[in-house]
Amino acid sequence: MNKKAFIFDLDGVIVDTAKFHFIAWQRLAASLDINFTEEENEQLKGVSRVNSLKKILQWGKKEISPEVFQSKMDQKNEEYLELIKTLDVKDILPGVHDFLLELKAKEQPIALGSASKNARPILEKLGIKDLFDVIVDGTNVTKAKPDPEVFLNACEQLGYDPQESVVFEDSVAGVQAANTAGMISIGLGDPSILNEADEVFAHFTDMPQDYINTLLSKNK
């Protein structure tokens, strides 16, 4: 059977954690007297923890010492971990679990390509870690999205060319990373925000019947 490497972002694609990242960043920004909006947050989706804090400081025109910078990153992560403490299978976004199981049934290779350093424990909490053949997360890469390193690393480990890979992303930075790598980019979210993606759906449940087969025969 026809095969492709199916690479999934985590936050906002598999699980509804994007809102918790937003809340944690908003509290962090407030602690620095910086006003942080939902529009700005859109630009932080898919962006690493360190680059996110740099951007918030830039927007707020604030400078802090390296020591305070580190402690603010720790503070944000503690806040975030507190918010996701009760995360479980019910937080998996609509249709994702079935989609993953369908890929498994078709013996398609599956990878995670996430910027998050919390990706592995989150997948464990959700009980779906074993569905992934390869996991590349924020602990494995040096360059953050929109650099394609995370996705290139995933498809290389699976033994596929970028042209034979499909990426599912909810962030502008992630869609750009997939496009730069020459991979098919499927956006999950608002088409006016993810307008660079090859196709956009609000949820996996909005994909047409047999969409996996459509993707298998699709070229970039």
Specify whether the CB–CB gap between 151 and 173 falls below 8 A. Answer: no
Specify whether the CB–CB gap between 57 and 63 falls below 8 A. Answer: yes
Q: Is 11 a catalytic residue?
A: yes
What DSSP element (H or E) covers 187? strand 184-188
Partners of 169 in beta bridges: 187
What DSSP element (H or E) covers 188? strand 184-188
- 161 in helix, strand or coil? coil
Under rule CB under 6 A, residue 138 binds ligand BG6? yes
| Segment lying near Mg ion (by CB under 5 A), choices 12-20, 49-57, 182-190, 201-209 | 12-20
DSSP state of 141: -
Which one, of 76, 67, 75, 27, lies nearest residue 47 by Cα?
A: 76
Q: Is the preceding peptide bond at 66 cis, omega within 30 degrees of 0?
A: no
Positions 152 through 171 that interact with ligand BG6 (CB under 6 A)? 171
- Is 48 annotated for ligand binding? yes
Q: Is 210 a catalytic residue?
A: no
Here's the x/- map for Mg ion, 35-74, by CB under 5 A: it reads as: -----------x----------------------------
What DSSP element (H or E) covers 168? strand 165-169
Q: How many residues does the chain have?
A: 220
Here's the x/- map for ligand BG6, 49-88, by CB under 6 A: it reads as: x--x------------------------x-----------
One of 45, 72, 136, 183 touching ligand BG6 (CB under 6 A): 45
| Segment lying near ligand BG6 (by CB under 6 A), choices 48-56, 100-108, 128-136, 177-185 | 48-56
One of 4, 8, 46, 141 touching ligand BG6 (CB under 6 A): 46
- Is 15 annotated for ligand binding? no
What span, in angstroms and rounded, lies between the C-alpha atoms of 197 and 179? 8
Residue 21 binds: one of Mg ion, ligand BG6, none (C-beta under 5 to 8 A by kind): ligand BG6
Residues in contact with Mg ion by the rule CB under 5 A: 9, 11-12, 46, 170-171
Residues in contact with ligand BG6 by the rule CB under 6 A: 10-11, 21, 44-49, 52, 77, 114-118, 138, 171
